[in-house]
Amino acid sequence: MNIQPLDSVAFSIGPVSVHWYGLIIASAVVIGIFMATSEGKKHGIHPDTFVDLLIWAIPIAVLSARAYYVIFEWSRFQDNPLDAFKIWEGGLAIHGALIGAIITAYIFTKKHQINFWRIVDIAAPSIILGQAMGRWGNFFNQEAFGGEVSRQFLENLQLPKFIINQMYVEGAYHHPTFLYESIWSILGIVLIYIVRSKNPRLGETFLSYVVWYSIGRFFIEGMRTDSLMLFGILRQAQLISVLLIVASIALIIYRRKTGTSSERYYKAI
């Protein structure tokens, strides 16, 4: 069977190749900025605030995502360390990106005297949309897939042919875990807007996103064949997901009991 995978390069300008992975991430950033600035205006937050934040958060998130991945996959790079800089070939850990972005946002909001929880609540849909879109970068790179399945299994999912063919890697078909996570993230966007409509306590929109994403990631990670491992026996992403779920729920309870979450997402007029 001769199945040609889709080209990971979207187009080339002279010697410069633009990969689908980078193009999709860039598109997600642009859409995310638009979503965040539009929502921020409703809260009296100047659009430049999010732009200024992202000038710092995006490069730091990319660097931390790559560093996180390289640390856990160092055996792949130890012979050719310069390959660690080839992010267009994939290998960005979402948990690493979140750690870098959240730390940056916290420092930024403290410096500019802005409510951290309001900023991350506003940004939550943009973040999860970026995750939903970013998984399609993995699709073009033929990475982040799951265990072996039959072609019939994929056809029974009513998937289009181009997805089925792209899941043919190294002589076998695989679970399209990139698609499972992308769909889960899109459902998460719907959840966020439902939570927002209830005018939740400040911070709980973002924490609800963390819980939702982590639940899906825990189960989907169990299907993948390329998991970053701890001590060779624990799937790192599953462990982090459990910790994030527990920590987020505990933080919601703690903030309610201590009264630190009394302010609502939508300010009273």
Rounded to whole angstroms, how far apart are CA atoms 249 and 208? 8
In percent, the amount of the chain with pLDDT more than 70 equals 93
Q: For position 269, what pLDDT does the model report?
A: 47
Q: Tell me the per-residue pLDDT of 26-47, one tens digit each, with 9 for 90 and over.
A: 999 899 999 999 999 999 999 8
Q: Tell me the per-residue pLDDT of 182-233, one tens digit each, with 9 for 90 and over.
A: 999 999 999 999 999 999 999 999 999 999 999 999 999 999 988 877 777 7
Q: For position 261, what pLDDT does the model report?
A: 87
Rounded to whole angstroms, how far apart are CA atoms 211 and 188? 10
Q: Would the pLDDT of 3 be above 90? A: no
Bridge-partner residues for 146, per DSSP?
Answer: 224
Question: Quick one: how far is CA 84 from the chain centroid?
Answer: 20
Inside any domain, residue 3: no
Query: For all residues of the chain together, what is the average pLDDT?
Result: 89
Q: What's the whole-number mean pLDDT along residues 235-240?
A: 90
Inside any domain, residue 2: no
Q: How is residue 158 annotated by DSSP? A: T
Q: For position 96, what pLDDT does the model report?
A: 86
Q: Tell me the per-residue pLDDT of 81-129, one tens digit each, with 9 for 90 and over.
A: 766 666 666 667 788 888 999 999 999 999 999 999 999 999 999 999 9
User: Is residue 267 within 8 Å of residue 43, measured between CB atoms?
Assistant: yes
Q: For position 14, what pLDDT does the model report?
A: 87
pTM of the model: 0.88
Inside any domain, residue 36: yes
| Sign, Cα dihedral of 160, 216, 95, 169 | negative
Inside any domain, residue 216: yes
Inside any domain, residue 51: yes
Inside any domain, residue 264: no
**Total tally of structural domains belonging to the chain:** 1
Q: Tell me the per-residue pLDDT of 251-269, one tens digit each, with 9 for 90 and over.
A: 999 999 998 888 999 876 4
Inside any domain, residue 90: yes
- Alpha helices in the chain, H assignment, sequence order: 20-41, 47-72, 74-77, 94-111, 116-141, 151-156, 161-166, 177-197, 204-221, 236-258
User: Is residue 96 within 8 Å of residue 65, measured between CB atoms?
Assistant: yes
Q: For position 78, what pLDDT does the model report?
A: 67
Inside any domain, residue 4: no
Q: How is residue 200 annotated by DSSP? A: P
Widest Cα–Cα separation across the chain: 65
Domain that holds residue 89: 9-258
Q: Would the pLDDT of 80 be above 80? A: no
